Amino acid sequence: MNNTGLFISFEGIDGAGKSTHISRLADAFQAGGRAVTVTREPGGTELAEKLRCLVLDDAMDPLTESLLIFAARRDHLLRVIAPALLRGDVVLCDRFTDATFAYQGAGRGFDLQVLATLERWVQSGEGLLGDPTGNQPMRPGIETVIEPHLTVWFDLPPEEAARRLAASRLPDRFESQPLAFFQRVTQGYAERQRSHAERFVRINAAQSREAVWRDALWVFVEKGWLPAAALA
Ligand code: TMP
């Protein structure tokens, strides 16, 4: 187990129950001596959290929504994710760009080609090692598109997610969408899994919480990122 930065994203429709598993994984990595950055999208920086409030609460068209989400992502990458990866942290990110393809692309029906262009612009390494305030010139020449090393998709049938959400807090603009929206979002995640099979792992989130946790843990143990003892 070496200490190069690891970027791990967690996905799933609303109600899939990612959050508790993310914080347990953070504890497991920390117990193994790793520095961990836990963060989320949209959000993770002061600016991105403001954009999150707009996206979750205010009515807007799908292009505006996509642009705000990618703007938040750019700031988040610059200020939090890229620096953490450079330090060698394990970055556990509650949602990332796969959510945009699933929600804005499959869910809202927004143009996937435009999303792919925005993904390339926003996640391009060029500038990501520069000054997040924009006062210093960017460091050119790094052309890799930053994306997660691993994406864990908590796959829960939309009908079950709706049952879980009905019993919880006041829904936001996404959580209040009809079942058909979440069926499309689920198809969107399945499509992302097919097109990014090398980094995508699907977990059956309809199981008991403990069974989901063991499946999640197993993914990390199998990769050699957590010790087998973590399963005990
Ligand atoms: P959360 O409640 O899991 O933090 O996610 C906030 C909401 O934002 C959730 O309903 C999914 C939505 N979302 C998108 O529509 N597109 C995105 O790119 C991201 C990251 C989240």
Domain of residue 101 covers: 6-231
Residue 1 within any structural domain of the chain? no
156 within domain boundaries: yes
Q: What lines the ligand 1 site, CB under 6 Å?
A: 14, 40-42, 69, 94-95, 99-100, 103-104, 174-175
pLDDT value of position 140: 45
| CATH value at residue 52 | 3.40.50.300
Question: pLDDT value at position 47?
Answer: 98
Q: What is the pTM of this model?
A: 0.94
User: How many Cα atoms are found within 13 Å in the side-chain-facing hemisphere of 141?
Assistant: 2
Distance CA 228, CA 232 (A): 8
- Identify the pLDDT of residue 130: 57
Locate the ligand 1 atom nearest the alpha carbon of residue 100 and give its number.
18
Atom of ligand 1 nearest to the CA of 41: 20
How many angstroms separate the alpha carbon of residue 212 from the centre of ligand 1? 21
Residue type at 187?
Q
In a domain, residue 159? The reply is yes
Residue 140 lies in a domain: yes
User: For the chain, how many structural domains are there in total?
Assistant: 1
Write out residues in the chain with pLDDT < 70, as ranges.
1-3, 126-143
Cα of 136 to ligand 1 centre, how many Å? 31
Contact call for residues 7 and 91 (beta carbons, < 8 A) = yes
pLDDT at 131: 58
Rounded to 5 degrees, φ, ψ at 83 are -60, -40
- Residue-wise pLDDT for 190-224, tens only, equals 999 999 999 999 999 999 999 999 999 999 999 99
